[in-house]
Amino acid sequence: MTDLDIRVLDDAHYRAAHTLFRGTLHNGPANDERWEQVRPSYEPGRTFGAFADDELVGTVQSFPSRLAVPGGAVVPMAAVSRVGVRADWTRRGALTALQRAQLRAFRESGEVAATLRASEGVIYERFGYGVASRFREVRVKRASARPRLPIRGRVRLVSPEAALPVVRSLFERLSRGRAGGIARWPGWWHTNVVMDQAEANRKYAVASGPDGDDGYVIYKVTPGSFESGNEKPTLLEVLDLWASPRAWSDLWAFLFGIDLVGEVLAEGRPVDEPLEWLPVDRRAVRVTDEMDETWLRLVDVEAALSVRTYRSEGSVVIGVRDRFLPENEGAYLITPSGASRTSSSPDFVVDVDVLGAAYLGDVSFGALAMAGRFAADSPEALVRADALFAVDQVPWCGTYF
């Protein structure tokens, strides 16, 4: 097999990397106009390429972000995206080499964690990523979804040209504090709002109350068909919704009240969102899917464990294995007052992907041990660990990239 050369890419290779990535998703290259829109999202030093005989055969990229952890602290994080290996080079070590180089770069730059959204569910655990949050898909029969609460404030439509500063400011204020949330980098807003403003039927609504604006929703409408024998309901898709509790009910009541809509679809919503309790007829709301959201990789285990908060009493010592970043390996003492390295023997040992899955509090160590993800000789140690890592609110990110 030809030896692979892993390089940090520059502007001369960005378009080739983007074309390669799109090809792995079975899409053609971006045209010139689209590429000029996408090009600014490639930041210097954050894209790697795998070369065989000077030919690009794989690529991986990341965006600079921040991750909110239990207790409210925020840590530097890399948002990994545009991962792809050319079809004739898969299963030959290219992705492993790229991941190894990327993780090492994250560690050296001081990024505490990395997250990604996996196209397939069997790829990334071997690189240390664990599923740390989930989301659900909800469908609503609009005609049956009469809300219990009327709109108590005001909901107004905002023009696409004026939307970006309004929704960006609201997101940055409203998304703070929930574990799993991430900061949206400038390229995210450019790609997901600015570039999409020309899309037909994309709408922006802002909710306000006594203290001003406190929520927004971005949605689009796909017209249906009213032709006899070929009826198809008009679909309203909720793309992004962040709000205070009061504005949340106002925005959903607004969406349920839009005429000539047969169904409301909301993907990527938190699993604890009480949407089915909002309409008089709760059967108008159906949860149609639940999926993994955040795949979390702890790049600096000691820093990650020391910055989040813990609950309960007692302590536990957790051993960590990490074959890509061996400096993470060792034993860590977890107490209600914090976490630190220790020379004590661990109560149980986990791979770094298992620790990442449990880190935000969405799944317990007890559940992971029951599923065979690691061996634990002491059930009592699992109880102590689960009590320490417990959270009041399930983690949720709410940002797709």
- Catalytic positions: 124, 401
Q: Which two tokens stand for residue 294?
A: 């955040």
Of 40, 44, 38, 33, residue with least CA distance to 18: 38
- Using CA atoms, how far residue 398 sits from 21, 49, 137, 291, 293, in Å, is 24, 29, 12, 13, 8
- With 0-12 / 13-18 / 19 or more C-beta atoms within 10 angstroms meaning exposed / middle / buried, residue 137 is middle
Q: Which two tokens stand for residue 354?
A: 């298992």
| Dist CA 21 CA 82 (whole Å) | 6
Residue pointed to by tokens 């679909």: 235
Secondary structure, 3-state, the chain = CCCEEEEECCHHHHHHHHHHHHHHCCCCCCCHHHHHHHHHHCCCCCEEEEEECCEEEEEEEEEEEEEECCCCCEEEEEEEEEEEECHHHCCCCHHHHHHHHHHHHHHHHCCCEEEECCCCCCCCHHHCCEECCEEEEEEEEHHHCCECCCCCCEEEEECHHHHHHHHHHHHHHHCCCCCCCECCCHHHHHHHHHCCCCCCCEEEEEEEECCEEEEEEEEEEECCECCCCCCECCEEEEEEEEECHHHHHHHHHHHHCCCCCCEEEEEEECCCCCHHHCECCHHHEEEEEEEECCEEEECCHHHHHHHCCCCCCCCEEEEEECCCCHHHCEEEEEECCEEEEECCCCCEEEEHHHHHHHHCCCCCHHHHHHCCCCCCCCHHHHHHHHHHHCCCCCCCCCCCC
**Count of positions (residues) in the chain:** 401
| Dist CA 187 CA 180 (whole Å) | 20
